[in-house]
Chain A
């Protein structure tokens, strides 16, 4: 077998072994990759930082642990921003029956993190409320867009010391009658619920997304047409968000992110901003480098074989 043929037929187990190595080793090394956040994430961060603090945010949390590499980190970062700004949150899910349990567990973990940092807990019912899962994303999102009170009617959540109580009795839902009462609808998803939300809710309240890497191209379409105010796409978007949380936009920090669209928007220096994005981004780096290397090797092999054939 010639070198060209060898380069084109690296056994599958060899490729898999290399992938395991390049994705595992960086997890144990403290590497901080330089970063230049993309515009869509800068817009998302700016939108989150400019939200009024007297109104709750509506979050469609439609992810489960199958996409935790990206979605878990996005959820944590977005919630850290909202918690630090004292903004209340209303959660619902239409994408997966497991999703409510996943965001409830994630809120518990974030509260444990706050307890370690000496911060007060973000209380269920008083600071955030779970409306639960709606089967049938299209119809449920349509209902939320057209008649929020009707769509959430009869939904209950745990009130401290009182058991299950109608969500509209929660202080979080005070003054909320329609989707337009929320300053933004955030969709954190690993499925197509972001597209369904654009189709049904667009124009009624500003939309912002946190999506997985594979959904970034189709979400870019909505961002370009200004149907969404901003989005974090995949691990890169998450790392961008964590970078922005550390250095802010146009601040005094020497590493601050420069943007002509905004004035000075502070970050949260000295607080826990590094999360999954910072931890996993080097791994993505090495995996992509390996992919480029493998493609180059395959093509070099092809060219060598072709040139040998011509001779």
Chain B
């Protein structure tokens, strides 16, 4: 078991032919398995998917529940079966994590494939919005091209020099313009639109139509005012002058009231919600892990 944990199939020098051979082999095996699953009848596919799901979840459940070493010395050997399993779980952790990270990374490829399938199809069919599909594909290719060229330019002796803008060349400026100048700014612009929705929604929805709505409105008002530094500062200073050291009256400071609301009502409500969500996620996780969830386990 220890040997299994220590053996690492991928420990080959970066860029070596042996590593590339293994990568190609693994890709072929992976696609082969996926292809086989796709052509297999559902009755044959279901147990395979259920077993793989169970195995994937089993590791994390065991890592959480099984006693694992917390202060293990280098070269220390397990004393019994329980410790052997604990050592094994700890030793393969990085491999399982790497596997999960790689598997998740493939979702990026899946996303690109899906985007290309839709937009290339639109261009082929001369869809009325084909222009936007062209924009998307050209933008994607430009970003990938200049991103890779920028990265390549940093390999070797010029890497430190390129940390300063003065030493940039065309590809570095082009990458910066596309990523920082366009993509990131559009990202920020999209996000800032939320402010308009919040303002409009607050104006239309915050009405004192009931006792509950009035309490909510008053609470929101106190919290908003406490976030306005000038208001909170002047209020607190005024109360401090008026209180003249009286600790009871100091509780009337806006920041104190706001803090009390947050610590007493807000955090307890959020904890309640978090517990509810946690229990729901646990139930859902169990159903998926044990393939009881038909939409998750019978794919």
Could you tell me which A residues sit within 8 Å of B by CB distance?
10, 12, 15-16, 19, 23, 33-36, 38-39, 64-69, 97-98, 101-102, 105, 108, 111-112, 115, 121, 123-125, 134-136, 139-140, 142-143, 146-147, 149-151, 153-154, 156, 158-164, 217-218, 220-221, 224, 236, 239, 281, 284-285, 287-292, 294-295, 297-299, 302-303
Name the one of A23, A217, A285 contacting B262, with C-beta atoms under 8 angstroms. Answer: A217
Contacts of B120 in A (CB 8 A): none
**In the docked arrangement, what's the CA distance between A239 and B183, Å?**
27
Q: A65 near B185 (CB under 8 angstroms)?
A: yes
Q: B160 near A161 (CB under 8 angstroms)?
A: yes
* Chain A min CB distance to B154 (Å): 6
Q: List, sorted by A's number, 20 A–B pairs whose CB atoms are closer than 8 Å.
A: A34-B233, A35-B233, A36-B232, A65-B187, A66-B188, A68-B184, A112-B164, A142-B97, A153-B98, A156-B14, A158-B160, A161-B159, A163-B155, A163-B157, A220-B266, A221-B267, A236-B227, A288-B224, A291-B224, A295-B217
Q: B202 near A294 (CB under 8 angstroms)?
A: yes
B273's nearest neighbour on chain A, judged by CB, is: A218
Q: B207 near A302 (CB under 8 angstroms)?
A: yes
* Chain A min CB distance to B102 (Å): 8
The answer to whether A150 and B195 touch (CB under 8 A), given A108-B163, A221-B267, is no
Asked if B7 is at the interface (CB within 8 A of a chain A CB), the reply is no
Q: B263 near A224 (CB under 8 angstroms)?
A: yes
Name the one of A139, A149, A236 contacting B229, with C-beta atoms under 8 angstroms. Answer: A236
**In the docked arrangement, what's the CA distance between A35 and B209, Å?**
35
Asked if B44 is at the interface (CB within 8 A of a chain A CB), the reply is no
Within 8 A of A (CB), among B240-299: 255, 259, 262-263, 266-267, 270-271, 274
Extra A-B contacts (7), CB below 8 Å, given A105-B180, A160-B160: A112-B165, A125-B160, A161-B157, A239-B229, A290-B199, A292-B225, A303-B208
Q: A140 near B270 (CB under 8 angstroms)?
A: no
**In the docked arrangement, what's the CA distance between A127 and B184, Å?**
26
* Chain B min CB distance to A287 (Å): 7
Asked if B206 is at the interface (CB within 8 A of a chain A CB), the reply is yes
Name the one of B155, B229, B236 contacting A285, with C-beta atoms under 8 angstroms. Answer: B229
Within 8 A of A (CB), among B86-127: 90, 93-98, 100-105, 107-108
Name the one of B94, B176, B192 contacting A149, with C-beta atoms under 8 angstroms. Answer: B94
Contacts of A217 in B (CB 8 A): 262, 266-267, 270
Q: A135 near B191 (CB under 8 angstroms)?
A: no
**In the docked arrangement, what's the CA distance between A303 and B209, Å?**
9
* Chain B min CB distance to A254 (Å): 14
Asked if B204 is at the interface (CB within 8 A of a chain A CB), the reply is yes
Within 8 A of A (CB), among B8-34: 14
The answer to whether A298 and B200 touch (CB under 8 A), given A66-B191, A164-B155, A287-B195, is no
CB 8 Å contact bits of B196-216 with A (1 = contact, 0 = none): 101110111011110000000
Contacts of A154 in B (CB 8 A): 14
**In the docked arrangement, what's the CA distance between A101 and B175, Å?**
11
Looking at chain B, what size class is its interface with the partner chain? 35 or more
Contacts of B14 in A (CB 8 A): 154, 156
Q: B230 near A33 (CB under 8 angstroms)?
A: yes
Contacts of B39 in A (CB 8 A): none
Q: A289 near B228 (CB under 8 angstroms)?
A: yes
Contacts of B233 in A (CB 8 A): 34-36
Name the one of B107, B185, B196, B202 contacting A295, with C-beta atoms under 8 angstroms. Answer: B202
**In the docked arrangement, what's the CA distance between A33 and B229, Å?**
6
Q: B108 near A97 (CB under 8 angstroms)?
A: yes
Interface of A (DSSP majority class): helix
Asked if B190 is at the interface (CB within 8 A of a chain A CB), the reply is yes
**In the docked arrangement, what's the CA distance between A241 and B271, Å?**
27
Asked if B179 is at the interface (CB within 8 A of a chain A CB), the reply is yes
When A and B form their complex, which 9 residue pairs have the shortest distance between CB atoms, in order from nearest?
A: A150-B94, A143-B97, A65-B184, A160-B160, A136-B104, A139-B100, A135-B104, A34-B233, A158-B159
Name the one of A112, A140, A298 contacting B97, with C-beta atoms under 8 angstroms. Answer: A140
**In the docked arrangement, what's the CA distance between A224 and B97, Å?**
31
Asked if B221 is at the interface (CB within 8 A of a chain A CB), the reply is yes
Name the one of B163, B232, B236, B270 contacting A121, with C-beta atoms under 8 angstroms. Answer: B163
**In the docked arrangement, what's the CA distance between A7 and B154, Å?**
60
B156's nearest neighbour on chain A, judged by CB, is: A163
Q: B255 near A36 (CB under 8 angstroms)?
A: yes
Q: A298 near B203 (CB under 8 angstroms)?
A: yes
The answer to whether A140 and B101 touch (CB under 8 A), given A291-B224, A295-B203, is yes
Contacts of B255 in A (CB 8 A): 36, 38
Q: B104 near A163 (CB under 8 angstroms)?
A: no
**Residue from B183, B230, B236 whose CB has the most chain A CB atoms within 10 Å:** B230
Q: B93 near A143 (CB under 8 angstroms)?
A: yes
Q: B202 near A221 (CB under 8 angstroms)?
A: no
The answer to whether A65 and B200 touch (CB under 8 A), given A149-B94, A285-B228, A288-B228, is no
Name the one of A66, A288, A290, A299 contacting B187, with C-beta atoms under 8 angstroms. Answer: A66
Q: B93 near A163 (CB under 8 angstroms)?
A: no
* Chain A min CB distance to B269 (Å): 9
Q: A23 near B267 (CB under 8 angstroms)?
A: no
* Chain A min CB distance to B201 (Å): 10
* Chain A min CB distance to B207 (Å): 5
Asked if B234 is at the interface (CB within 8 A of a chain A CB), the reply is yes
**In the docked arrangement, what's the CA distance between A105 and B168, Å?**
13
Within 8 A of A (CB), among B129-185: 154-157, 159-160, 163-165, 176, 179-180, 183-185
Q: B160 near A19 (CB under 8 angstroms)?
A: no
Q: A150 near B95 (CB under 8 angstroms)?
A: yes
Q: A299 near B97 (CB under 8 angstroms)?
A: no
